[in-house]
Amino acid sequence: MNGDVKVVCIDAGNVAQHGFFCYKSKRKSEGYRRKLHWLEQRFSEGMKIRIVYESGRCIGFIEYIPGEFAWRAVHAQDYMVIHCHGLLAGPRGKGTVHVC
């Protein structure tokens, strides 16, 4: 990886400060407010969000939750279910990112 890589663990205590990957630049939008409210409920169920920064620039993220709380039709007790993930095109192929 080029530059300094940092992984930020997002939770109920810091989501308002850091935001989340989608809608990150649209904090005043209705979509942002609705997703923030939804996430606040999911954090109490074990939702985890990790946002990856390289040289201060947001380059990717992952959202995951314990299988017993997944809102999709899966039987995944004792497993984590990835809800959403993304990586900007530029950082791909530069190495691995370790999450906390």
Indicate the domain borders of the chain.
5-87
Contacts from 22-26 at CB under 8 Å and sequence distance 24+?
A: 22/84, 24/58
Count of alpha carbons within 13 Å of 41, Cβ hemisphere only?
A: 8
Structure tokens at 55: 């040289």
Could you list the pLDDT tens digit for every one of the 100 residues in the chain?
A: 456 888 999 999 988 887 776 655 677 888 888 888 888 889 999 999 998 888 888 888 899 999 888 877 788 888 998 888 888 766 555 554 444 4
pTM of the shown model: 0.75
